[in-house]
Structure 1
Amino acid sequence: MARTHLIFLLLVAFLSKTSSSSSLPSREQEKDRIKTLPGQPKVAFSQYSGYVNVNESHGRSLFYWLTESSSPSPHTKPLLLWLNGGPGCSSIAYGASEEIGPFRINKTGSDLYLNKFSWNKDANLLFLESPAGVGFSYTNTSSDLKDFGDERTAQDSLIFLIKWLSRFPQYKYRDFYIAGESYAGHYVPQLAKKIHDYNKAFSKPVINLKGFMVGNAVTDNEYDSIGTVAYWWTHAIISDKTYKSILKHCNFTVDKVSDDCDTAVNYAMNHEFGDIDQYSIYTPTCVASKQKKKKTGFFVRMKNTLLRRRLVSGYDPCSESYAEKYYNRPDVQSAMHANVTGIRYKWTACSDVLIKNWKDSDKTMLPVYKELSAAGLRIWIFR
């Protein structure tokens, strides 16, 4: 408790030094400006990307990409922070490059083209690769990768946001929203609560959080799991016999399930699923990325099903591989001020290390929703 209070006081002192009236770009901000991305079509909006250190002693730095609004008056538009889940998946890979961002990547990973449905028409979009170890975000303390969880992720994200606002003071006090999907069903409300608690120390909210929204969100372990199994069954992915077996042997409220439950779920996945994309069952799978199915424990398999990012129907199933081609290009990384420390591993859309070593995960987000709703935040949950 004392350590948390000390961090809080340090953040208050840090932010109090920032001028809220400045509208001119700071020198540090200008260093993050993206002049143009390789293969990018001409655009009128500004872009920035770079690192924010969230823990000096461990060397944890989070990577962000800001695409300002393409509207004629971006300074009047809100700031929206987008988080992808996993845990361990990149907001740049999915949120920015497949979903709400202004660009799409072509099949060869050589060029970008415009997304006509980009949310940056109505908001300034801030994509964050979180926690450290995801995408270009990194830590200099390898043990961090085996000791991440909900609490540290939320705390690091709050520190990132406070420091980022000091770098971009024109967004201080701007209407602010958080959005995300999948396991960001934890990240988003948990960060919203951190911000809500932080703002209580000020007469005027420093981070002007107005609300948040989550899609296909991991919300409650018991009901999410029951709903997933019911979805498999009602869409003829698993048999009546397997469905009844899972419901009979699985107690989704416990941390460690029975061997009978493990057997029932693994049978469904290894023998009845077939060659389908679980997240978009009526669209083709990407042939290039097919992998052999492995027999693993219940929670590894179910977490990969429940917590991974959700693929949206009507898209190219191989788009993830295009992103990995593009963001591993040295000229792209240079243009984005990414991988400045020479990370020894390739940029990937998701990190398997993090999901296997996740330490703390709240069983339900419902109490947080209740608290923040009562506090007046606007909340939108969609499927």
Structure 2
Amino acid sequence: MGRRKRAPIAFYLCVLFLLSIHFVKIAGSSDLERDRIARLPGQPPVTFSQFSGYVTVNEKKGRALFYWLTEAVGNAAEKPLVLWLNGGPGCSSIAYGASEEIGPFRINRTGASLFVNKYSWNNEANLLFLESPAGVGFSYSNTNSDLKTSGDERTAVDALTFLVRWMQRFPQYKHRDFYIAGESYAGHYVPQLAKKILDYNKPLAKPFINLKGFLVGNAVTDNHYDGIGTVAYWWTHAMISDKTYKTILAQCNFTNTKNSDKCDDAVDYAMNHEFGDIDQYSIYTSTCGSAGGNATRRLRLRGTVIRRRSYGYDPCTESHAEKYYNRRDVQEAMHANASGSIRYKWTACSDVLIKNWGDSQFSMLPTYRELIGAGLRIWVFSGDTDSVVPVTATRFSLNHLKLVVKVRWYPWYAGREVGGWTEIYRGLTFATVRGAGHEVPLFQPRRALQLFKSFLAGSHLPKSRPHAH
């Protein structure tokens, strides 16, 4: 009996390759099902799928980022994916974006149950909320020093690593139309991540992450122009006196990262003696009645660290989130902190990260110019009752891009009311949202949803109110 012929090496390599694909698919499917949320405590019935869990972005340091995916209501497979990032730096996209702004649920005052947000952006897209960087919310690092050395560059690199690895776990989103959205200090995170994605895609025949564009609200953009525009807002909205306004302009050098003591004193005087007890993120709405137990955020006014209470239209909504996400049954349902790596209370913002933020890009305008040149759809919006990153700051900054106007300033409508005003430039659309504070979808959810729909469609905001039937 003759010896059997051996199959060629190429045959074995082909088999091994097919087996590897098979096992990767099995592993990916297993990870996906492991991350599926069956139901959150106190959650009303819904028709869409939810997933949450961790993606390791740096094995050596032990950095892992936490995400929450709420798929679209109806035809999820045909709708785009939108990544939402909150700012701070050091604040949670789950506390704010998911639970107060664009997510499908709101948290009741007791922190015991959830109710549906009928203006959720997951009516139009699949929403991916990311707690970034490590140290924010449920995201963590096993290297404690990481929390004191965070900055813009590492945040962007880790977010890109997260997306690549997350899409390997959720391959149905590879090559899907993808957008990034966010607010406040995400005015840094969003364009910086967009640039990283474009660089990552350059050598590829087909974009792995099919980035189409981004939108940012009340966005930190340029330290110099933001600073001048912020003080101008305070004065034009009667929050400060003529004398204080002139003193700040005379003593504060908005091009420096650190201001003089006289500048700091003038700003402190404005805040402590002239602002009064208002919500600086929404100057015409009520504050939370109790001063105790409210989380805080900080804003850097060109080197001056300003501590501010953070509220929402339900003025105490942030405290509801902290009640809910510190419940052990909620964490178990969301697959959060399963390994016990987080030994501290979940908070909406991380004081450690805010105090120790490292590199911060002085101006995002050069990055905007590059991204406009790449042909991305870029929208910048601004709630007009925010005094922290106000509409004047954004307009001062964007004006220095010197873009060509395509469609002149006009009022846009949401329903039968003016939703705000907009101007369309070659490469960028700017829109205000009337009566909205820093967290635009919290204060004006219907108007924010109309803005989001128009952005996704690549169409102009409505120029007239709908006709009555």
Q: TM-score, normalised by structure 1?
A: 0.89
Whole-angstrom CA distance in 2 between matches of 1:27 and 1:297: 44
| TM-aligned CA deviation for residue 287 of structure 1 | 2.0
1:79-111 Cα deviation digits (max 9, x unpaired): 000000000000000000000000000000001
Q: Give distance in 2, aligned partners of 1:302 and 1:32.
A: 39
Matched, 1:358 2:361: no
Following superposition, the deviation at residue 299 of structure 1 comes to 5.4
Q: How does 1:95-110 map to 2 (within 5 A)?
A: 95-110=97-112
- Per-residue CA distance 1:193-247 (angstroms, 9 max, x = gap): 0000000010111100000000000000011111111111111111111010000
Which SS does the other structure have where 2:89 is aligned?
coil
CA offsets 1:141-163 (integer angstroms, 9 cap, x no match): 01011101000000000000000
Rg comparison, structure with higher value: 2
The letter of the residue matching 2:352 is V
Partner residue in 2 for 1:32: 35
Deviations 1:33-75 (A, max 9, x none): 000000000001000000000000110000000000012x110
**Is the Cα contact below 8 Å between 2:52 and 2:335 reproduced in 1?**
yes
**Residues 297/97 of structure 1: CA separation in 2 closer, same or farther (3 Å cut):** closer
Distance 1:201 1:219 in 2: 29
2:322 alignment partner AA: E
Helix, strand or coil for the counterpart of 2:140?
A: coil
Counterpart CA distance in 2 for 1:158 and 1:303 is 30
- The percent of aligned pairs where both chains have the same amino acid is 71
* 3-state DSSP of counterpart to 2:54: strand
State the match for 1:341 in structure 2: 339
Q: Supply the distance in 1 between the matched residues of 2:300 and 2:163 (Cα, whole angstroms).
A: 36
> In structure 2, what is the equivalent of residue 55 of structure 1?
58
Following superposition of structure 1 onto structure 2, how do residues 4-83 of structure 1 map, counting pairs within 5 Å?
Answer: 26-71=29-74, 73-83=75-85
The answer to which of 243-252 and 233-242 deviates more is 233-242
The structural deviation recorded for 1:122 is 0.8
Distance 1:339 1:118 in 2: 27
User: Deviation above 6 Å: which 4+ runs of structure 1?
Assistant: 21-25
Q: Which residue of 1 aligns with 2:368?
A: 369
TM-aligned CA distance change 1:22 to 1:121, over 3 Å? farther
Secondary structure of 2:380's match? strand
More strand by share: 2
For the residues of structure 2 that align with 1:289 and 1:52, how far apart are their CA atoms? 37
SS at match of 1:26: helix
How high is the TM-score relative to the length of structure 2? 0.73
Letter in 1 for 2:148: K
Query: CA separation in 1, counterparts of 2:333 and 2:179?
Result: 27
Do 1:23 and 1:169's aligned partners in 2 also have CA atoms closer than 8 Å? no
Q: Write out aligned runs for 1:1-383 (5 A).
A: 26-71=29-74, 73-290=75-292, 302=305, 315-342=313-340, 343-383=342-382
Structure 2 gap segments, 5+ residues each: 1-19, 383-469
Higher relative contact order (CA 8 A, sep 6+): 1
* Aligned amino acid, residue 48 of structure 1: F
Tell me by how many angstroms 1:272 deviates: 1.2
1:266 and 1:298 in contact (8 A); partners too? no
Q: CA RMSD in A?
A: 2.3
CA shift at 1:302, angstroms? 4.7
Task: Please say if residues 186 and 220 of structure 2, whose CA atoms lie closer than 8 Å, have aligned partners that are also in contact.
Answer: yes
**Worse-superposed segment, 258-267 or 35-44:** 258-267
